[in-house]
Amino acid sequence: MDTMKAVRAHHRGGAEQLVFEVAPRPEPTRGEVLVAVRAASVTPDELTWEETWADGRGPEARDRTPIIPSHEFSGVVTQVGPDATDVVVGDEVYGLIPFAGDGAAAEYVTVPADLLAGKPATIDHDAAASIPLSALTAWQALVAHAGIQPDQHVLIHGAAGGVGSFAVQIAADLGAHVTATARGRYRAFVRGLGATDVVDYAHGDFENQVDGVDVVLDLVGGSTQTRSWDVLRPGGVLVSIVAPPDPDAATRHGGRGIFFIVEPDRAQLQRIAHLVDDGRLTPFVDRVVSLADTRAAYEALETRHRRGKIVIHVSD
């Protein structure tokens, strides 16, 4: 049996369960390819998701432990399974792995070929690995669900984080007027992403400074989501990735509330790669750790704010 180095958890829990060890190397099945992982990226709350530990939700779901975390990656195709098309050995690719399967905190990972997109050519693998989940989330929220248009007013909460930094850039590139909330020390950073106005949420309520918003992107939840209805114009839309918006509040304010979970999408990743290569979208990496230090990366997600993503550098 071929083996590889990987980070795995043999029991449910948090970062304390992650172990750097030797594990079986996966083999691609029908429609899959084997990718030599160059870099992967870690996601807040990933170790709390049911899909991380089981092959689905509900009473029929089966335990998957030991599991490998980290579902966004960049790497090189090393083997093509039966009926896998549109990729060949040697292709540099990046993508988002379905959550109810092993991730990319390992030297190798198998991925359905139809989910892979060509890696942006102008950046390295570490930067590319920081893109898939965050950029797809921002794209699906703003384009697929909110359908933003030029000159609309968009409010983005949590604009300095992984998803937020992409959302500001995408909204601005599409011609929207962007207002963002972030900590004061990130004001210049968020303005540089394309936000016209930045509200320091630690020193004042955004609802007293913002009004007439067409689209709210809620990346925070809680009272931030609840208070966002007060700034939304009639007919506007509140999109959240944290919790379903209150339908009664939507009715009272004459708006729409949308909650969604990001899905892998090859065509969208290809569009995002073109935006990166055209210089219209820039990924931001907070820091890079080794595969052996993956546990520390997940611990860092729980203890401090970040500007961009934490990336695992797996191999050169």
pLDDT surpasses 90 at 54: no
Question: Which is it for strands 213-218 and 232-240: parallel, antiparallel or unpaired?
Answer: parallel
What is the rounded CA–CA span in Å between residue 230 and residue 207?
7
pLDDT surpasses 70 at 304: no
The pLDDT, as a whole number, for residue 301 is 84
Which tokens belong to 308? 């961009």
CA distances from 161 to 111, 189, 280 (A): 27, 11, 18
What is the rounded CA–CA span in Å between residue 213 and residue 178?
10
Instruction: Look at phi and psi of residue 150 and say left if phi exceeds 0, alpha if psi is from -120 to 50, else beta.
Output: beta
Write out pLDDT tens, residues 112-147. Answer: 999 999 999 999 999 999 999 999 999 999 999 999
What is the rounded CA–CA span in Å between residue 59 and residue 224?
33
pLDDT surpasses 70 at 223: yes
Question: Taking a C-beta distance cutoff of 8 angstroms, is the pair 154, 142 a contact?
Answer: yes
What is the rounded CA–CA span in Å between residue 94 and residue 87?
12
Write out pLDDT tens, residues 148-159. Answer: 999 999 999 999
H/E run at residue 23: strand 18-24
pTM of full prediction above 0.85:
yes
pLDDT tier for residue 305 given thresholds of 50, 70 and 90: low
What is the rounded CA–CA span in Å between residue 114 and residue 312?
24
Lowest mean pLDDT among 52-56, 210-214, 225-229: 52-56
Average pLDDT value over all residues in the chain: 94
Query: Could you give the domains of the chain?
Result: 3-131+283-313 (3.90.180.10), 134-259 (3.40.50.720)
Lowest mean pLDDT among 17-26, 52-61, 108-117, 208-217: 52-61
HSE (side-chain half, CA atoms, 13 Å) at 125:
19
Between 201 and 109, residue with greater pLDDT:
109
Calculate helix-pair angle for 132-139, 266-277, nearest 10 degrees: 100
Instruction: Look at phi and psi of residue 256 and say left if phi exceeds 0, alpha if psi is from -120 to 50, else beta.
Output: beta
Share of the chain above pLDDT 90, in %: 84
What is the rounded CA–CA span in Å between residue 106 and residue 4?
7
Other CB atoms within 10 A of residue 137 CB: 24
- From the list 73, 48, 236, 80, the residue with the least C-alpha distance to 152 is 236
- From the list 167, 195, 158, the residue with the least C-alpha distance to 179 is 195
HSE (side-chain half, CA atoms, 13 Å) at 144:
16
H/E run at residue 296: helix 294-301
